[in-house]
Every structure is written in C-alpha cells, then in structure tokens.
Chains A and B, each alone.
Chain A
C-alpha cells in the first residue's frame, strides 16, 4: 500500500479499530518500497527484520489510543544512527558501519511506537542540495524522475512525497529539509535550534544542524515534532523549554496575525513563477485575515557566504574523526600511519565533501581565521539582528522556500556557486536558529513550489497555525504525484 491519501489520523483510526495491524501495515509498506524503490531510489538500507519485530511488539502491547505515531511506519535519513543497522551518511567512509546505539530521535520514535522501515538516501554527509553527492545512489524526484529530488534529505523527502511512508526524519543544516520538501510538494519542518536532540546524528555543522520531519499534512508534521522535541542530557545544546502539543494550536484562525514578507527573498535570483505562486499564497493568507507587510532583512545576501565559511569550518573539524582507525572504512594495503589517514580519507570521501573540508580547513587556518571564520560569525550576528528587528513587530515571516522548482540532474556540476545559491532562502533560518517550514504553495509546469514560513525562536506553534490555515484553505496536499485524489 502507499500513503498518498492517508494521513496519520486515518491510519491511527484503522489501527485502533483493528482494520489493520501494525505488522500488516509494516509488511505492506515494505512490499510497496520493494516494488517502487527502483523508480525513486529513496533507500540505502531497508530494515525488514527490525521493522517487523518492532511492529509485532507494538501489536502485542496494543496501539496507544493517545498517540498518533503508534504502529506507524516511517523512514530515517541515513545520517541518523540506528543501533545494529548500517548507517552510512551516504559516504563510502562509513560503508558497513553498524552503530552501537540509537540516536535520541530514533529512541523517541521507538518509545512512541513508530516503526522504522529503512534508512533513506542523502547527499554525502548531508552536503548538497540535489541528492547527487551520495556515494550509493541518486534519488529521483517524486513528481518527475528526470528531476532532482532536492537535498540533502533527498530520500526522506521523496519517500514521503511518493507515498512510500507517511512520514520520515531528516536533518537541515542550510535548507536540507525545507528545500527537498518544496521540490516534492510536502511539508518539511526544521525546528528551532535546540528543540530536538542532535545526539546520534552524524554531525555536519554543529551550530546549524537540526533534526526535523517530512509529512504530507501539517497536522501530521506537528504530531511528529511533539514526539521528537525535548531536552536531552546527551545534547547539552538542547533547550529546557517545555514542549507543547503542537497539534493543539491548529484551529485555522489567523485573523490579525502579523506577517512580514522580506523583499530580499523576492530578488533577482528567484524564478518569476515561484515568486508569483508564493505571492498568491500570501494573498490567500491575507484573505484569511492576516496583516501582511513588506519588510527588509538587509544582510540576507551575505548568508550563503557566511554559511559556507562557518558550516564548512565546523564540518572540517567534525569530519576529522573519520580516519579508518576505530570504525568504518579503512584503506587497504597501507604501510604507514600517514598512509592510513590519507588513503582512508582520500578514498572514503567524495569530491563535494573534500571541497568543503578544504574550504573549512582554510577558513580556520592560521592567518585566515580572523578574516574568514570570525568575520562570518560577526556577519551571522548581523543577520540574526535583522530577524530580531522583524520579530519585534511581526509574528511570522513568509517567503519562497527555494529560488526554483526542481531541475534536471547534473546541471550545476562545474559551478559550485550556482548550486550553493539554491540555499540562499533557507540558510538565514539556520544561522539564527529559527523554526522554518516549507509547504506546497502551488505548481509551476507540474512541479511543486514551496512556501517557507519562518517563526521566531521556539515559536513553532505560530508556524504550524498559519501553515494549517493555508493548507485547509487550499487543500493542495490532495494533489499527489500521478494525479489528483
């Protein structure tokens, strides 16, 4: 079976009423993945045995009537650690690596009774925005398999977009949830920094990374975040703020809510059709009673530059542990220790990863630190202050999620700058640690266009409230790949 037309609430009813058992649902899900994944290539690893075992345990314990996730199959981005199940971060250097512990988010999903069915493809170490840098395979867009799925959470976005699972976990460092969510016409949320534990997530850039989730509907999305969020002793950057039930704020009422539209997000680099569709969506919000004003976030244009310095610098350090000594891939036939390091890393990492490691290493090296790393961190402060000023007067920021809709494979290979500009509209949200959600706002030539809703820090409830009002007014989620409902 597929999940193109079933949300968590429907599934939950079916499970509670014993129309279907968790094991039956899981088996059907795995069968559908087996039948369709040659088309999408969303999975690096499927977890047949573990999934059926978990589902049987959930059936034995009984479906939890108060928990929408109980007995629900889901996908896990393969940079999130799963005990005993190969976790590669889509890199050769972690081929065959079996973690000895579960990530906190996986642990939380297990406690909620959700059933992990597989590890989804991604750009290697989550570095990329097309899904093309994976060592293992190239995931295809759910709507058009000749188009990129977006990245880095390519597999998680596509597996939900194509209806293989009702939800999936991803990570977002500079747009890696929101951008592929936009390209696949689904709901993708990057929560506030510190909302969700990073323990057990293969680090890319520690000060920017957050775990989030892909779903078809806003309510499903809010339900998953409610289960994922919370302070974790294993991640000392998680916030101690109380975690509300995010589904509770979904009442469709946004009257009087103040929405800011940053003019920089409708700049020259943004495709005209994308701008049009998002402006129409904003008009829709206004029609629902929101007060909309244009504002300025003047440092937006520096975001990509600052991000590539800071993100690459942190990554260069975080990825040094992959050295072939304690786990994962080790190069064969090495004679000396230096060889072991150099050959393992040279053979183990792909070009995009190497490029960022070198950029980051440079940015931190003697003489460059002040000019690049520190300067970028100062620019980050200015970007964050831009947001603070807007949120002093507004409840929410609304903008396009991406400059373009999904495009063909291999388009920007030789100009990293063009590829990097894909993230210009999503990066500032990571820099400031804000919650950001992408939701389908309409279609351009049959491909989905994402609208981005950006909240103040820890104001996920506002984001969901507005997203839900828009979704219920437009019901765009009923349009799925392969035809309308």
Chain B
C-alpha cells in the first residue's frame, strides 16, 4: 500500500548460504549448530601464512543460482578483498567479488494482487560469510568462527520495487527459486537467508530521490514487509512536515513494529576493495555451465505446470505442493511410486500438512517416507483398506512403520471377497423382509440400513463398494412377485 503522493523505491540485497559440504576458502565442514569453533581450522582463524583454497562446489552452486535467475555468467571469475575490522572477520578482509561479479542481468517474475511483473537482478556474486558474535552481559562478546567462510551468494536486486508488498513478493519468489535450484535450504530462522533493505521516497513528479535508509534486523519476510511499510510512512511524515530524511541505518523492532535509529552515516564506509592476490582467476567454460545446467532441478513454475497439465491437479493444489522443495519432491516420489496423483496431493495437503503443523517439524525431520505413503494410497485405491482405516495406517506411517506390514499385522484389510461377504449379506436379507419390500417400493434409505448392518456384523471391515454390488444384485434377485 503506497503512501499517497509519494513514490517509493526499494532495493534489496539478499545473502543466501549455500548447501556445500565445505567452506568457500577452506575445507572445514559447513554445518549448522555444531559446538562453537569445532568446524574451524587455521584458514578460518586467519592464521599468519595461510592461503585461501577456493571450493569448486561453491562456484557450481553459484552458477546454478545464476542459471535459475536467468543471469549472464562472466567467462572469467576474479576474487576481490573487502577490508574491515570486526571480531567475526578474522583476516579483517572478506573474499568477495566487487569488480567483476559472477553473473549479472538476471530477472525474477513476481505477482502482486494478480498482476505479474518482472523484477531485475543487477548482479550475483559468491563470497565468504563471517563468523558469529554473541554479546554477553559481562562486558564481553564471544566469537564463534564455525560460520566463518561458509559460501554465500549475494543477490543484488534492481531498484524496481515500489511497495512493501512487491518487496515481499520478490523475496518469496527469490526464496522459492533458490530453494528449488537446490543451492540453499533458505531458512531465514537459521540465517541461511538474510535480507538487507534500503528504502527512499520522493514526491511523485520529483526527479530527486530522498536519502536512502538502510534497514537491519529483518529476520522474516513479514518483518521486511512491516519494516518497509513503517519506513514509508515515517519518511512521508517527515517530508510533509517540511523535514529532511537523513541517510541512516535503522533497526526493525518487531515487538513494537517500528524502526529505530542505529546510526547516521556522514561518510561512506571505506572498504578498500582490491583484487585478491592469493587467488588466480577462474575461467568458467561453456561446458562447465552446461554441466551445471543438467544438474539444475526443475523449477517451481515448471513443476506446477506439470502437476496441472499432466497430473490433473487443481491450480491451488499445485501452488500448495510447490511451496517448498521438500514437499514437491515428496509428492513427486509418491507419484513415481504409482500413487494416484489427486488422492496423493490431497493427502499431502491435508493429513501430511496437519501432521507437520501439529508436530512443528519440517518434512525432512520426520520419519515420513514418500514411498511408504504411496503404498498406503495404493491400498486405498485398490480397496485393500478403507479411507477410514487409512487414518490409523497414516499414524503408523508417520512413525516410520511399514504401511503394508502394519495393515497385515493389525488385520486392517477390508473384506472384499464375495465368497465371505455373500453369506453375511444373504443372512441379513433373510431377517429383513420389510427392507426388501421398502427397497422395491423406491425407498433408497433401506439400502443404507442394510449396509449399516453388514458393516456392524463385519466390525466395519467390509469393503463398501463390494458390499454395495452384492447387496444390489441380491435385492434385484429377491424382487417380490
């Protein structure tokens, strides 16, 4: 929602941690949640005499992200140093790409209120993450270098965004694109995706932009949207009161939904960028790019089209299933195992999602296996189990128990054999002369009552479809003279 009479310009810089096994410039493991400093070596500590060892995996993922965002990849890659002192930055420089980024001129389609729009991506480059500082209450801070050197892609968006909603849609689309490219799990809560936003406004018609305000502490996509909305209004109020918006860095306070001044910038930081002399250039051949292209998983839009056009899902279902890569992959495995797509989709959107919400777990953290769930769906489809029984089976499946074995061991198989069901049905009909008469007089309810009795006698195990078939045949055969 724009502020009347003002035009807003929003620029977003997104950092995404890649899913590599090792760090960008050292062989130390990349792993979230390890003992502090356990995943470090002399390179991560910036020891005297150490040299960077550039990781091919980080460039593979960088190229992948560039392809997923339709960006142009430079044929020769150069590294640069960005110099600044900070305890979580052991060399006091970050190895990044300032002068010639890996790729540029990408784009991303976003949709706001049903309107589609292409947003430019100015550049993306690969760089090192910093370590982590925690602030004690004892007058000290504490440094953990486990994260130091984790490969990041920095994605610099073009200033094409004009509302907080557009910014939100851009970030959502970017998150999805990166996740479906397999480059990162893009979890904002674990910091594997981080957003820096800057925002300026100007009166409509004015050629001069206001000073840019940089926003920090944007820990969720919702916070980004809220912080930008707050900032839009705050800056407009300053203008309307005849004031001047100053170049500032502000922090979003989620508790009170306001932005708070952190610092005012008089002069730009001087990072003294220069080409990294410890690393030679890297030539990125067309063959390398094509190799990465073959490894690039199918994008979310391509998957949605497949679900709708080939599998016959509703657009809404296709949308829900492609909200995360895990969900979509899970569904794809089920279908590949021969589970009926629509029923599978409904199960994933319904029972599976309900289970995840209840358990507060991500799909990959559970014992749910798509092959196992597919086996259950197939048993529903072929009448082995009823949808009612399936609810019990599903609970077992969430615990990692084998669906087929569980049905077998617990005698959950439906009675579908006519040889068993026919004597039960004829026996019931023998005792319910009146129901037969009612049926032939056009009272359909009579059938329901008879089915109910069969179910009661079989403790609910009879296959309703088979019961119906036999019952109708018997009823026709017993038509009164």
Contacts and interface: CB of A to CB of B under 8 A. Distances in A.
Report if A and B touch in the complex (beta carbons < 8 A): yes
Contact of A237 (B143, B274, B278): B278
A203 B50 CA distance: 9
A321 B50 CA distance: 11
B25 to A, nearest CB: 10
Contacts of A337: 87, 141
B83 to A, nearest CB: 5
B392 to A, nearest CB: 57
* Binding site secondary structure of chain B: loop
A369 B45 CA distance: 28
* Binding site secondary structure of chain A: loop
Contacts of B49: 80-81, 99, 103, 198-203
Nearest to A321: B46
Interface residues of B, number: 30
Interface stretch (A133-141, A218-226, A228-236, A287-295): A228-236
B34 interface: no
Interface stretch (A15-23, A66-74, A267-275, A359-367): A359-367
Most chain B CB inside 10 Å of its own CB: which residue of A201, A202, A325, A365: A325
Nearest to A234: B51
B70 interface: no
A313 B274 contact: yes
B42 interface: yes
Contacts of A313: 274
A454 to B, nearest CB: 22
A87 B53 CA distance: 23
Nearest to A336: B139
Contacts of B93: 317, 320
A236 B50 contact: no
Contacts of A320: 83, 85, 91-93
Interface string B81-106: 10101010011110000000000000
B54 A373 contact: no
Chain A: number of interface residues, binned into ranges:
35 or more
Contact of B272 (A233, A235, A317): A317
Contacts of A327: 45, 47-48
A364 B83 CA distance: 10
B274 A94 contact: no
A341 B47 contact: no
A169 B397 CA distance: 67
B51 A236 contact: yes
Interface string B48-66: 1111111000000000000
B87 A369 contact: no
Given A206-B278, A237-B278, A321 B48 contact: yes
B277 A325 contact: no
A325 B51 contact: no
B405 to A, nearest CB: 50
Contacts of B280: 236-237
B115 interface: no
B81 A317 contact: yes
A203 B45 CA distance: 15
A236 B272 contact: no
A419 interface: no
A323 interface: yes
A366 B268 contact: yes
Contacts of B274: 313-314, 317, 364, 369, 373
Nearest to A364: B272
Contacts of B47: 99-101, 326-327
A237 B279 contact: yes
A313 B50 CA distance: 18
Given A317-B93, A320-B91, A365 B270 contact: yes
A89 interface: yes
Interface in B24-48: 42, 45-48
Given A364-B274, A365-B272, A317 B83 contact: yes
A479 interface: no
A314 B51 CA distance: 14
A415 B47 CA distance: 34
Contacts of B141: 337
A63 B447 CA distance: 102
Interface string A190-229: 0000000011111101110000000000000000000000
Contacts of A325: 87, 90, 143
Interface in A307-338: 313-314, 316-317, 320-323, 325-327, 337
Given A203-B49, A233-B53, A320-B85, A361 B272 contact: yes
Contacts of A201: 49
Contacts of A200: 49-50
Interface string A236-254: 1100000000000000000
B42 A100 contact: yes
A252 B428 CA distance: 117
Contact of B277 (A81, A87, A314): A314
Given A206-B278, A317-B93, A341 B51 contact: no
B45 A236 contact: no
Nearest to B52: A236
A323 B89 CA distance: 11
Contact of B54 (A80, A205, A236, A369): A236
Interface string B269-291: 01011100111100000000000
Most chain B CB inside 10 Å of its own CB: which residue of A94, A200, A322, A369: A200
A323 B92 contact: yes
Contacts of B42: 100-101
A94 B85 contact: no
Given A199-B50, A236-B51, A321 B270 contact: no
B270 A234 contact: no
Nearest to B43: A234
A295 to B, nearest CB: 29
Contacts of A369: 272-274
Interface string A360-396: 0100111001000100000000000000000000000
A472 B83 CA distance: 51
Contacts of A199: 49-51
Most chain B CB inside 10 Å of its own CB: which residue of A202, A326, A365: A326
Contacts of A101: 42, 47
A334 to B, nearest CB: 12
A31 to B, nearest CB: 31
A326 B46 contact: yes
A94 B47 CA distance: 11
A81 B48 CA distance: 8
Contacts of B50: 199-200
B277 A207 contact: yes
Given A201-B49, A321-B91, 14 more contacts: A81-B49, A103-B49, A198-B51, A235-B51, A236-B51, A236-B52, A236-B53, A317-B272, A320-B91, A326-B46, A326-B90, A361-B272, A364-B272, A369-B272
19 contacts: A87-B48, A99-B47, A99-B49, A100-B42, A199-B51, A203-B48, A236-B51, A236-B52, A316-B272, A317-B272, A320-B93, A321-B46, A323-B92, A326-B90, A327-B45, A361-B272, A364-B274, A366-B268, A369-B273
Interface of B: 42, 45-54, 81, 83, 85, 87, 90-93, 141, 143, 268, 270, 272-274, 277-280
The 4 closest A-B pairs by CB, nearest first: A320-B92, A364-B272, A206-B277, A207-B277
